[in-house]
Structure 1
Amino acid sequence: MEIKPSYDGIDPSELTREDFDIITQNEKQITITYDWLKQDRYAAQPVLDYLYLGPTSAIRNHDSLREQGITMLMIVRDSRMPASSHNADQAARQLGLPVEYVRVQGGDISDLVQSLPGIIGLINRHMLSVYRDAQQSATDRRPGGEEGGGGGGGEGGGHGPAAAAAHSQRRRGKVLITCDSGLYYSPTITAAYLMSMYGQTLLSAVDFVGKQGRGCVFDQKAKLTLRSWQMLIRPRPMTEQRHLQWVKQRVKQDKQDRQDKQDRQDTPEVRRQVVAKEKSPSFDHTDPETPRERGNTGNAKGGSVHGS
């Protein structure tokens, strides 16, 4: 199964097309097929090449976080539990990773609907921040920090904008979304992200995430939450599309109405009626201010018409 980035449902005021392409790199994502081991259940698993999910306990494995290149931790927790995670805070200190906490009110997954825009915004802003920091770092390493430049040597095989782009490509942001089990809240958020950034439907997003993260649980409440999210992110482009279709149909109908009216006015029967009216003795071309002369003048003019 493969999916591709889709800008169709994105609000340009929230995320520009350029930033969207930086985040997704406009690359398709493919489900990975491999043999699962029991211990994989407790590790962070990639869903996209920059988005991982897993249980919060996976954060303890600092070596794995380094190897995978994780640059941000997002911890989803029931609001009735402690506000922070000791493991996450420890990883943040030792690895220098930013940590974001998402609180689910009363453990009710439907509460996530109102939080999803902010959650997706956090992920995207982090991806852009890492990209721009990498670009700036590559620029600063060039002699004199000048634009352009050339020559070989050093990591990346040279200097200049191409080298900066290559460096920012290598230093790409990667976000790990976790919840206590890694099977409920975090997969639901990941599916919502696919629906927003990759134009997936509820069913296709759930299918994709389920193939990447074995054991994910999408119960009725989770699916209703994602359905609500789907209704929130789809109306704007659909409304615009329907309005455009309505405008096109209206223009086409108006054009047809004008043509029909013109055709009705140009039939032989209509022309005969016009000629007959002009030849009628009562057809008056005179000034209405001279009623006494109207009859004679009208007849005279009528005679000239008859003679033609």
Structure 2
Amino acid sequence: MRSILPVVTVVLIIVALWYAAAVRLNAPWVYDQAERAGAPAPGFGQLLGETMDQERPVLPTPHQVVTELVKSTFGMAVSSKRSLVYHGWVTISATLLGFAMGTGLGILLAVGIIHNRAMDLSVMPWAIASQTIPILAIAPMIIVVLNSIGVQGLIPKAIISAFLSFFPVLVGMVKGLRSPDQMQLDLLATYGASKRETFWKLRLPSSMPYLFTSLKVGIAASLVGAIVGELPTGAVAGLGARLLSGSYYGQTVQIWAALFAAALVAAVLVMAVGVIEGRVLRRMGMVR
């Protein structure tokens, strides 16, 4: 109970501040409507009521977002183009494919870096430099180039996801593979272990905690990449498409519902990686 109380307190404070901000930002529309109708300025009670459920508010209230989220998730057929489950699955598909590609690339580069001095000096600086490029700038370029060679659909979004997710995996794996101290390496050398045996019996097991920590970051970054990849394409499916359609038609409640859906998807994906981490590390005897 004591561990839950601080979390509940913070949530309640955030919700209260959200409602206060909604009243403040939505109030000008209420005053403008009263002025147009020649009516007196609304009192606090009337103002409070009329700012809570506007059709197109500047800032939707929490209950509006929750209502739209529930309606779009459970109140529609999964195959409906207005269902967040449908759009969420499209984005998740690109996220998982991009995450797999980025993870594989990051691990392969990390293995090369720790075994090859030239790769360490050449690949790592380029990998760091690649993350300084704004993804919003490079995403349209990737999509245009791939479209020109006939690659469309899921693959361009997955490549953008991989671009964001490979770097944390690369950094985490390099750190993990280098985590064994010199005494452990010397002991295996004394036993006559080859580089391959040292890698499989010492370096790789030692890197697992680092790998799973970076995977949690990578899968969240992959989701961001999938959503960003949907924005410049004018996509008709995916959480990015819901954000686009909401902005086109001024449906701020829809935009916020899609944002919260994306946050929930990210939380579920990170939790799934955490569950796999616990089972793998427990199987390896690293945790009880």
The TM-score bracket by the shorter chain reads under 0.3
- Higher Cα radius of gyration: 1
- Name the TM-score, length of structure 1 as normaliser: 0.24
- Decide which structure has greater helix share: 2
